[in-house]
């Protein structure tokens, strides 16, 4: 018998001073059986960083041809493709061909550093690609904000000068993403 996804609900209030975006989102997040709390929460952080009314969670680990998050225009064209983790160069190349903008949110400490050392030079040619890395201490701290028994979360995310503060109840985590590659804007 196949394991089913665990469903989490999150009321995410975003105050993004950098983009002048202030909104509350009621999110339903399906955590794949092979996904841990850290990866799920990094997906939520990626949502907060690029929040928009049209941004949606993809099938993620369940589908090879969909990202973790994406935003499409009214015609169905992919405007923004966001992958979380350490995707291979072939997947990134396909994403850059399908979407106007692609963002990779890497995490995992030394593993992310090794991944970037292997693929970084190959990815420089993709002008529509941005890569950010979340420090391992921050991604671990964010994962501790959720427990399996707490499937309904109340979160507030403040973003200012590319620093994030994620708050859940009395717990507060500061995240300073490291930009490994910026997309070239027109």
Tens-of-pLDDT digits for all 186 residues of the chain?
567 888 889 999 999 999 999 999 999 988 888 889 899 999 999 999 999 999 999 876 666 778 999 999 999 999 999 999 999 999 999 999 999 999 999 999 999 999 999 999 999 999 999 999 999 999 999 998 876 447 788 999 999 999 999 998 888 999 999 999 999 865
Contacts of residue 183, defined as CB under 8 A and 6 or more positions apart, other chains included, come to 101, 102, 103, 127, 128, 129, 130
In a domain, 111, yes or no: yes
Q: Which helix (H) or strand (E) holds 92?
A: helix 89-98
In a domain, 100, yes or no: yes
In a domain, 186, yes or no: no
Beta-bridge partner residues of 83: 104
| CB of 14 closer than 8 Å to CB of 22 | yes
In a domain, 168, yes or no: yes
Looking at the 3D structure of the chain, how many domains does it have?
Answer: 1
Cα 22 to its chain centre, rounded Å, is 18
Q: Token pair of 142, please? A: 């964010």
In a domain, 30, yes or no: yes
Domain of residue 90: give its range: 6-181
CA dihedral 46, 85, 165, 51 (to 10 degrees): 0
Q: What is the CATH number of the domain that holds 130?
A: 3.10.640.10
In a domain, 1, yes or no: no
**Alpha carbon distance 11, 72 (integer Å):** 23
**Entry pTM:** 0.92
In a domain, 85, yes or no: yes
């Amino acid at each position: 018998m196949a394991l089913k996804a665990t469903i989490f609900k999150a009321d995410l209030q975003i105050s993004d001073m950098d983009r002048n975006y202030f909104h509350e989102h009621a999110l339903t997040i399906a955590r794949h059986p092979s996904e841990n709390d850290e990866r799920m929460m990094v997906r939520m952080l990626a949502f907060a960083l690029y929040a928009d009314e049209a941004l949606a969670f993809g099938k993620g680990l369940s589908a090879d041809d969909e990202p973790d998050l994406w935003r499409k225009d009214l015609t169905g064209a992919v405007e923004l493709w966001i992958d979380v983790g350490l995707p291979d160069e072939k997947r990134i190349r396909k994403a850059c061909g399908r979407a106007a903008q692609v963002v990779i949110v890497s995490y995992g400490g030394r593993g992310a550093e090794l991944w970037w050392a292997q693929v970084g030079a190959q990815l420089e040619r993709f002008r529509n690609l941005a890569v950010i890395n979340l420090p391992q201490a921050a991604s671990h701290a964010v994962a501790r904000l959720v427990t399996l028994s707490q499937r309904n979360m109340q979160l507030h995310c403040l973003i200012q000068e590319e620093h994030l503060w994620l708050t859940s109840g009395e717990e507060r985590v500061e995240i300073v993403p490291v930009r490994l590659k910026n997309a070239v804007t027109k």
